[in-house]
Amino acid sequence: MPESQPLPDGIPVLIAGGGPVGLTLAALLARHGVRSLVAEADEGYCTGSRAICISRRSQEILATAGAGEALARKALPWTGGRSYWRNQEVLHFQMPSEPTQRFAPMVNIQQYHVEAFVHEALQRVPQLVQVAWSSRVARVEPGADGVRVEVETAQGVRRVKAGYVVACDGGRSTVREQLGLQFEGTQYEGRYVIVDIVQPTQRPVERLAWFDPPSNPGSTLLMHRQPDDVWRIDYQLRDDEDAAEALKPENILPRVRSHLEMIGETAPWRMLWASMYNAKCLTLPSYRAGNGRVLFAGDAAHLVPIFGVRGLNSGLDDAANLAWKLALVLEGGADAALLDTYSTERVHAARENIAYGAKSTEFMAPPDFAFRLMREATLRLAVDETAVRSLINPRQSAPVAYADSPLNGPGQGTWTSALAAPGQPAPEALLQGPNGPFHLTQCFGTDFTCLVFGDGALPHAVADLAQHGVAVLDIAPEADAAGQARLRYGLPGGRSTAIVLVRPDGYVMGRWSGLDAAPVLACLRDKGLEP
């Protein structure tokens, strides 16, 4: 997938890495009218399934990036899963879901499809985004006024001056290495072989896990259905197994065949791809470096275990958090210090994801004898004791709240719902508009949005918020006929009035009783924000 267009001499944002996080960041910046250059070392999309579980929050972000329709057509939605100890079911879990929601709690889709769908969206805005394949960021030199970047291309080394560089170049980040930055945290010894096979099946789409299955004694094994009749199978290696030998097809195929036969999947199949993985709980202590001109996102910033599907999903949340802040700084609507809040919020999120990921890893791949003993005791009890079964749940991904964010405004203590408190992801609701029903999250993604829970005509001052760059959405009682919005945003019964300010990335910033617009503007000014 060669890129023939020459690289620009200068660009507001250079994104190192064209995986799903880098491409999504470029698409979200384009929503704000910010030009970017994506430099990707590979010649095209990734091979193999890699990250496959996309959360509801990530589906919202990808929809904002312009990839929502393609993703919905291809991905396989699911709401729960099953775990087995040997040949006995010990857990059947369901994630919260309801028919009126915009997206399923989780969908399965190979990472290369996500990359392709976002890249297709970028091709609709060529004036704002250039993707340079086979172009590796080799050197970065941050300065007070920007970053000088050397990019190795098929035509030779090109030098680009960028206002900001965002490193999305993965766990072996060249940018991170260039700046001499080091991860903090823990790397686990347990290793998993990851295999994609093609085999038609009629099984429902759900997360499947086996502990010590008869097909692979002593191992832990995971299975996920993917589009195009692909099974993703992950199985744990013994400590004494050689990694190079384990990845040879003659050693992979018998283990896969044994498991497929055990579960009754007898249709012909063939292997597509295999790799190896071990769990890492690592993060940079700060995602802003290089005189404040270099930022980190995705695996370049943090590495999270696959158990609990917080890897790609947390990277997409990085992109959503950073895009509007970087755009506002470049447009002169905020001081560059706003970018410190990106680091503060997302480092907090990474540490929370790592904490959950570590717990899941220690259960799925016990690091020592004591953990193995505890896991076996839990699994034995779970056969008959339902109260124990929740301990087996791999803690599927949920958005992280920014409860202590410096951007949070008022509204913490006087409302009936903690779900919509400042720093929380804005709750979804199905509303009725003049053109039919719509989901509230469709209104987020670009602007600050003021949700106005009124009881009649809007006061002029509230309507005039639009002149200050704040989108105004009037949620009159008749628009909220099902009462979802008022309930989830914590309004008491009756015709109570309130204002809720939502950030461009879909997080609540502040909430106020009544319909006075002055505190909203005061909050934005106090945080140094001029939308």
The neighbour count for residue 222, using CB atoms within 10 Å, is 21
Give the containing element (helix H, strand E) for 450: strand 448-453
Rounded (to 5) percent helix, strand, coil in the chain: 30, 30, 40
Can you list the pairs that 409-413 forms with residues at least 24 positions away whose Cβ atoms lie under 8 Å?
409/501, 409/509, 409/510, 409/511, 409/523, 409/526, 409/527, 410/510, 410/511, 410/512, 410/519, 410/523, 411/500, 411/508, 411/510, 411/511, 411/512
Strands 294-296 and 156-167: what pairing? parallel
What's the pLDDT score for residue 227? 98
Rounded CA-CA distance 116/121 in Å is 9
What's the pLDDT score for residue 412? 59
What's the pLDDT score for residue 2? 46
Residue 133 phi/psi, 5° resolution?
Answer: -80, 160
- Mean pLDDT, contiguous 10-residue spans, the chain (531 residues): 78 98 98 98 95 95 98 97 93 88 95 98 98 97 97 96 98 97 90 96 95 93 96 92 94 97 97 93 97 97 82 95 98 97 97 86 80 85 82 73 94 73 95 94 95 89 90 93 90 80 97 93 93 76
Contact present, 26 and 79 (Cβ < 8 Å): no
Rounded CA-CA distance 441/428 in Å is 6
pTM: 0.96
Instruction: Let me know how long the chain is.
Output: 531
Rounded CA-CA distance 398/56 in Å is 8
* 487 Rama sector, left if φ>0, alpha if ψ -120 to 50, beta otherwise: alpha
Rounded CA-CA distance 244/267 in Å is 29
Tell me the per-residue pLDDT of 357-383, one tens digit each, with 9 for 90 and over: 887 877 887 878 888 888 888 888 888
Work out the angle at residue 339's Cα, subtended by the Cα atoms of residues 333 and 341, and round it to the nearest 5 degrees.
110
Contact present, 255 and 180 (Cβ < 8 Å): no
Sign of CA dihedral 38, 44, 49, 50: negative
Tell me the per-residue pLDDT of 95-151, one tens digit each, with 9 for 90 and over: 988 888 999 999 999 999 999 999 999 999 999 999 999 999 999 999 999 999 999
What's the pLDDT score for residue 396? 62
Helix (H, G, I), strand (E, B) or coil at 491: coil
